[in-house]
Amino acid sequence: MRYVIIGNSYTAVGAVESIRELDRQGEIIIISDEPYATYCRPLITYWITGSVDAEKLALRPANWYEDHRVTTRLGQKVVNIVPESRHVVLEDGETVAFDRLLIATGGKPFMPPIEGIDAEGVFAMAKLDDAKEFNAWVSQEHVEAGVIVGAGLICLSLFKAMEGMNIKFTLVELLDRVLGIALDHTASGMIEKRLLAAGVGVRTSSLAEAILQDEQGRVRAIRLKGGDEIPCQAVVMAVGMRPNVDLLEGSGVEVNRGIVVDDGMRTNVPGVYAAGDVVETWDIVNEMSHVIAILPLAYEQGRIAGWNMAGAERRYPGGIPLNSLPIFDTSLMTMGITITDDRPDLEVLTHQEADQVYRKLVFREDRLVGAILVGDIAHGGVLTALIRSQAPVTYDRQAMLKGDPLDIEVTRQREAARKNVLWERTPGPALAVR
Amino acid sequence: MVTPAPGTRREMLNQMTGQYTRDIIVDAGKCTGCMDCVDACKQAIAHEHPVIAPVARITIREALVEGGVHLPLLCRNCAEAPCVTACMTGCRIRNGSGWVVTAYERCVGCWMCVMSCPFGAIEAVHEEALARKCDGCTSYEVPPCVTACEPRALRVEGQTNFAQGRRRDFATRVNATLLGM
Ligand SMILES: Cc1cc2nc3c(=O)[nH]c(=O)nc-3n(C[C@H](O)[C@H](O)[C@H](O)COP(=O)(O)OP(=O)(O)OC[C@H]3O[C@@H](n4cnc5c(N)ncnc54)[C@H](O)[C@@H]3O)c2cc1C
């Protein structure tokens, strides 16, 4: 059996690990256009500031490929898939035959076709090379001000990593609030306050209309709709990701916004599987299929695909949108349905402690379908499990809302009363990442 | 009190093979909330956390019911562990011992695992930006928390043994209260 996997990230790793649980003999070939061993994609921004070095950037140890008997073809792009003759075509025309194929090509950053998008100093932030280019730029050029277009997950993860960078950043966001696809106004307001306090400029309800360049073609400012100009020497475009499906043209694999798969991660073409950021996943709480580009789903779908490719019958029950983000000293989690405006079918409970803690639970009848946790994230996983399982909630909802369903205070007092307490919990600011 | 019936062959086999399992079984009904396990844990892991004095990787929660029910909370070492699935750095991985363990030097404190643990057994320690969880102490013959637990609410034994013990406890209680034996 010859397994070919296109892509070398979370999905591919999941697939290899599950294939090898069932099949020690088959040949596994990983093809990726990135020239690196598998690395932690979300950590590329940490790498920029040096808080994570090359070794820590690796998602699996160096001997992982050898241990799992995987052949890699890195730095090689697949341009076409020919299911009838069971092979894929590389950029240089070479073909690679497969018995089972997994498409794990993830997403690529969407670069809006605005004026000046090709200017020097405009970056995406989706792969290690993007981070390397950005790094080279800020260390060569004199960058005092930077603009990040799109206040989504990637943008906010940039701040976590760029604490301590000597650049004044401004956020430009089309929606009326930051992280508007996941946060309601209250939560978003709390995060915005922290951004402002940290000296980050926030321009919401703003459309980036053009990137202005100097004579050498380098970024000098960004112009917003309405005429405002923000001077800057670097721009990061983080408006969103699109599934990487160009290679499927003419292959007969069904693509909607992402690749369409069944609950076993099979495409409509026999022997061809797809998983991760490139597919449309069943969303348990929104009850529809769409692209949910997060790594836990990528890895677990990869595993399901791997098992099924190796001959097992595993079902994927679907996923939910999940975000976890430490922003400065505040931790933030969102799960499932979080935006509840104009949703009379949902019951919303909120709990707020000044500017520090915000917890919101969203119920549909007797099921928990979503949550936002700001400041107090303890036991977020219990809520996630409740949402994913869609088990009826019989527990006191108010107690759930306040946090721990079990009384954490009693535990802490008891702990503090002990003589040999070595450390006492105080809700303090998070350390910068080492 | 009824003395337990002489062991069956099955029970003998279980006892014999019990040492080959590494599950830390929680028998919540036996927990008195004394926190000895918590202290033992703190001491055992202190050297791994130079940034801040230790927080235990096990905790005891008290449910809000009359009389108090104590629940020791620690990693259940899930078969298909959500914390491994959600780990963005690959620092949380099942090692050769069979336990899901954490390479703390690689953890960046993204809390993806805290968001995913259905047991709430992972502690986000903001001060050191590490997500701590019980790593099974597989380098010990018996994990320190288990050694410390006098009421034997924490035990290292196989599930079958555990279930058998529970059934016998129950039978003893029924005999004592209902039948007056
Ligand atoms: C800055 C940043 C921060 C993030 N933070 C989080 C977070 O906090 N939490 C979270 O859950 N998720 C986060 N994500 C998303 C997460 O990284 C993705 O969900 C995950 O990487 C998806 O894995 P994948 O294997 O499906 O695809 P990808 O990681 O996108 O990998 C696909 C690979 O396939 C390669 N490829 C594509 N086309 C071809 C081709 N034709 N030929 C050969 N190779 C090809 C690509 O180059 C790439 O290497 C973040 C992403 C970024 C960029």
- pLDDT of amino acid B166: 77
**Structure tokens belonging to residue B22:** 């590494």
Average pLDDT, chain A: 90
- pLDDT of amino acid A313: 94
Q: Tell me how far CA of residue B14 lies from CA of B19, B28, B161, B172, in angstroms.
A: 9, 22, 6, 21
In this complex, do B88 and A335 lie within 8 Å of one another by their Cβ atoms? no
- pLDDT of amino acid A156: 85
Q: How far is the CA of B175 from the centre of ligand 1 (A)?
A: 61
With beta carbons less than 8 A apart as the criterion, state whether B153 and B28 touch: yes
- pLDDT of amino acid A211: 97
Q: Which of A378, A431, A369 is nearest to A402 (CA)?
A: A378
- Which residues have C-beta within 8 Å of that of residue A414, sequence separation ≥ 6? B33, B35, B60, B62
Lowest mean pLDDT among A141-150, A160-169, A238-247, A250-259: A160-169
**Domains of chain A, CATH where assigned:** 2-108+246-309 (3.50.50.60), 122-238 (3.50.50.60), 329-417 (3.30.390.30)
Of B164 and A112, more confident: A112
**Structure tokens belonging to residue A136:** 């080279």
Q: Which of B59, B110, B127 to mutate to test the interface with A (most CBs of A within 10 A)?
A: B110
Q: How far is the CA of B125 from the centre of ligand 1 (A)?
A: 27
With beta carbons less than 8 A apart as the criterion, state whether B52 and A430 touch: no
- pLDDT of amino acid A427: 41
* pLDDT tens, residue by residue, A100-131: 999 999 999 999 999 999 999 999 999 999 99
Q: Tell me how far CA of residue A422 lies from CA of A93, A305, B42, B53, in angstroms.
A: 64, 46, 8, 6
Q: Count of CB atoms within 10 A of residue B5's CB?
A: 9
pLDDT(B101) > 90: yes
Q: How far is Cα A280 from Cα A282, in angstroms, rounded to an integer?
A: 7
Mean pLDDT of all residues in A272-297: 97
* pLDDT tens, residue by residue, A125-156: 999 999 999 999 998 888 999 999 999 888 88
Q: Which residues of A touch B63 (CB under 8 A)?
A: 406-407
**Domains of chain B, CATH where assigned:** 22-176 (3.30.70.20)
pLDDT(B93) > 60: yes
Q: Can you give the pTM of this predicted structure?
A: 0.90
Kindly report the protein residue whose alpha carbon is nearest to atom 29 of ligand 1: A9
Of A92 and B64, more confident: A92
Lowest mean pLDDT among A19-28, A315-324, A412-421, B134-143: A412-421
- pLDDT of amino acid B67: 60
Alpha-carbon gap: A161 to the closest alpha carbon of chain B (Å): 10
- pLDDT of amino acid A66: 96
Q: Which of A184, A191, A119, A209 is nearest to A155 (CA)?
A: A191
* pLDDT tens, residue by residue, B54-73: 788 998 877 655 566 788 88
